[in-house]
Amino acid sequence: MGCARTSFKGRESTYKGLMRDDVDMLAVITGASSGLGATFARKLAARGYDLLLIARRGNRLESIAHEVREQYHVRTEILATDLTNDAALDLAASRIGEAADLGLLVNNAGFGSMGYFFEADPNVQEQMHRLHVLATVRLSHAALTNLIPRATAGTGIINVSSVAAYVVSPQSVSYSATKTWMNRFSEGLAMELAAKSSPVTVQALCPGFTLTEFHDTIGMDRSRIPASLWMTSDFVVEESLRGFDRRALFVIPGWRYKLIVWMLRLTPDALIRRWSIQTAQRYKRPKSTG
């Protein structure tokens, strides 16, 4: 497990930056060292949130924390840790459960893998389930037990899922399965909150292909995907936060992906399965990246 470090800096009364309004709340972001998580950090700091940034690469977290403190004069804390580790998860959950100013949890940390499940390293597959499922369960529970009694509007959880939640994809079985779980889990939580008339919001963010380090990590050739399907993390996070403001449960950024998901829902499962198998046969991927 890595170390927890704190670096607070009070806001300056003379600040005239881009802060939209001083929300005076804490946003906890997992996977904040790159990609969507780093963009959430920058955009939430611009909205005036103090930040707790979690990921394994402490130096990256330090530099993002430094940047937003300088630019937006918010308070930052970093937790350089591996969320697939039980003790690390305990530590993160207790920090979230005890934060009197908690406003938002973004369960964003995640990774993909390519290749057939039965050829993959079972440890990496298990880690994906730990990160996407168990960490989300544990941190969401900590956040909700903290947020629900306070019943403050504008507070909640964003679970970073994927459009992969809407398909079962050979050679990406664990990824699709865990993201499908994430959608159903978010939906269930939102229903419980509605049943309790709670103002706390839950969102499942379902991006398609987004330019981050995700595809470098799995060694995927980006040129295989049509340019029109790529989105920037800036666009995706902006859509998510706008969706959060209007309390949208599912946010699918980009009209192309909305259309794809709409068509998938209208198509019989058997047909989608056949198409997915044919696609897997056509694209010979490297043996496995986990």
Ligand X SMILES: NC(=O)c1ccc[n+]([C@@H]2O[C@H](COP(=O)([O-])OP(=O)(O)OC[C@H]3O[C@@H](n4cnc5c(N)ncnc54)[C@H](OP(=O)(O)O)[C@@H]3O)[C@@H](O)[C@H]2O)c1
Residues lying near ligand X in the complex (CB under 6 A) are found at 30-37, 55-57, 60, 82-84, 108-111, 131, 160, 162, 207, 209-210, 212-214, 217
| Residue closer to ligand X (CB basis): 146 or 210 | 210
Full DSSP string of 44-79: HHHTT-EEEEEES-HHHHHHHHHHHHHHH---EEEE
The residues near 162 (Cβ < 8 Å, ≥ 6 apart) are: 175, 179, 206, 207, 208
Judge whether 116 counts as a catalytic residue: no
**Smallest distance, Å, CB 212 to ligand X?**
3
3-class DSSP state of 263: helix
Residue 126: which residues within 8 A CB-CB, separation 6 or more? none
Beta strands in the chain (DSSP E): 4-7, 26-30, 50-55, 76-80, 102-107, 156-160, 201-205, 210-211, 231-232, 250-251
Instruction: State the minimum distance, in angstroms, from the CB of residue 15 to ligand X.
Output: 28
- Residue ranges of the alpha helices (H) in 18-172? 35-46, 58-72, 86-98, 122-129, 135-150
Report yes or no: 101 and 50 within 8 Å, Cβ to Cβ: yes
CB 215 → ligand X: shortest distance, Å? 7
CB of 103 to ligand X, least distance (A): 20
The CB-of-176 to ligand X minimum distance in angstroms stands at 11
Q: How far apart are CA 209 and CA 242, in angstroms?
A: 19
> Of how many residues is the chain composed?
290
Q: Which of 72, 175, 257, 283 is catalytic?
A: 175
Least separation in angstroms between residue 148's CB and ligand X is 25
Q: Which uninterrupted H or E stretch holds 1? A: none
CB hemisphere CA count around 222 (13 angstroms): 15
Of the two residues 23 and 54, which places its CB atom closer to ligand X in the complex? 54
30 vs 155 by CB, closer to ligand X:
30
120 secondary structure, DSSP code: S
Of 185 and 214, CB closest to ligand X? 214
Question: Which residues participate in catalysis according to the annotation?
Answer: 175
